[in-house]
Amino acid sequence: MVNVGVLGATGMVGQRFIQLLDSHPDFNLTSLTASSRSAGKRYEDATTWYLDDSMPESVKDIVVTDTNVDEVSYDVDILFSSLPTETAAIVEPKFAKNYIVASNASAMRMEKDVPLVIPEVNHEFLDLIEIQQKNRGWDGFIVTNPNCSTIALTLTLKPIYDNFNIKKVYVSTMQAVSGAGYSGVSSMAIIDNLIPYIGSEEEKMESETLQLLGSIENGKISNANFRISASCHRVAVIDGHTEAVFVELEDNANIGDIKTKMSNFKSLPQELDLYSAPKNPIIIKEEDDRPQPRLDRNSSNGMGVTVGRLRKDIISNNSFKYVLVGHNTIRGAAGASILNAELINKTIL
């Protein structure tokens, strides 16, 4: 068992980390940090628990430490981070001197020597770790996972990218409110309404996707070579991002082939049989009216992405379209960092 901790443990994603780590066979959760306001309190006293499943007994008595205090030393190998961007930018590098930081924060994602990884998509980017440690003189290191909407999209594009020539991708999202944190979206803003804007989300989807599908050689990443455009919207859904995806290939699109490649898609996490890895990263639904966030977000314990309405697109012979649903705080956040850590634990530690 590897001892682990969670940085920013009282927030929405922090709670998902705790929920997912509760019965983990390889990771033993021993440390929790939060802001100074919570420091010194038992986790149960410091936290308003938001999830449907109740707070695991095992964390209630853990005394929360202050994320920002340097002197604390943690008896852990891995620290999961669900810190706000600004805090992450400051403290993650400090922690990386001694610990492995598996981060869901966006602060370090675009650093040239910090791997941005989805284990099924670009596990080879972990090669950057050695460079990172050398560059920065750290004993630990930082590994990051992408933005929630990017992860779901990129997982479904991966078998297409590997087997066909993608020319363009248009994606229009309908994202759950949990993606903005507990207080991120007011009820006044979303009842009988939707918000056609999520700050920086489109930019993240447009840049991260191309990097994730790119290649790495001698520590240098070459982005994938196609065009992508995103339009991001917030809807009245608790968990589960839905995305309408339009793909133009360079060549003729054969729906049968595409479907086969998507449903058969497996990668390293499946080969290594990592604990959180879904048996099939992509689940294809044939019903007209699926996927739906409430019915499909929990597929494969929230780690699978469900694809439906896969169909030819009238716009050209080379085009097709589909709809996907992925759980934004599991596959798209806490579960993504944990899968990264499982991969590191199995292949590097």
Q: Does 50 bind a second copy (CB under 8 A)?
A: yes
Q: Which residues contact 30 (CB under 8 A, 6 or more apart)?
A: 3, 4, 5, 62, 74, 75, 76
Q: Are 269 and 328 in contact (CB under 8 A)?
A: no
What's the Rg (C-alpha) of the chain? Answer: 20
Nearer to a second copy, 1 or 314 (CB): 314
- Alpha-carbon gap, residue 235 to 328, rounded angstroms: 13
Q: Does 94 bind a second copy (CB under 8 A)?
A: no
Is residue 123 annotated as a catalytic residue, yes or no?
no
Q: Are 249 and 318 in contact (CB under 8 A)?
A: yes
- Catalytic option among 123, 232, 241, 327: 241
- Residue range at the interface with a second copy (CB under 8 A); choices 68-76, 116-124, 133-141, 306-314: 306-314
Contacting a second copy within 169-198 (CB under 8 A): 170, 172, 174, 177-178, 182-197
Output the smallest distance, CB 348 to a second copy, in A: 35
Residue 204, annotated ligand binder?
Answer: yes
Q: Does 216 bind a second copy (CB under 8 A)?
A: no
- Alpha-carbon gap, residue 66 to 45, rounded angstroms: 15
Is residue 232 annotated as a catalytic residue, yes or no?
no
Residue 290, annotated ligand binder?
Answer: no
Q: Does 22 bind a second copy (CB under 8 A)?
A: no
- Catalytic option among 123, 148, 232, 327: 148
Q: Are 24 and 275 in contact (CB under 8 A)?
A: yes
- Residue range at the interface with a second copy (CB under 8 A); choices 91-99, 154-162, 310-318, 340-348: 310-318
Residue count, binding to a second copy (CB under 8 A):
62
Residue 171's DSSP bridge partners are 230, 245
Structural element, H or E, at residue 335? helix 335-347
Q: Are 205 and 198 in contact (CB under 8 A)?
A: no
Q: Does 228 bind a second copy (CB under 8 A)?
A: yes
Angle between helices 255-264 and 148-163 (to 10 degrees): 120
Contacting a second copy within 315-334 (CB under 8 A): 315-316, 319, 321, 323
Binding residues: 10-13, 37-38, 109, 175, 178-179, 201, 204, 234, 328-329
* Active site residues per annotation: 148, 241
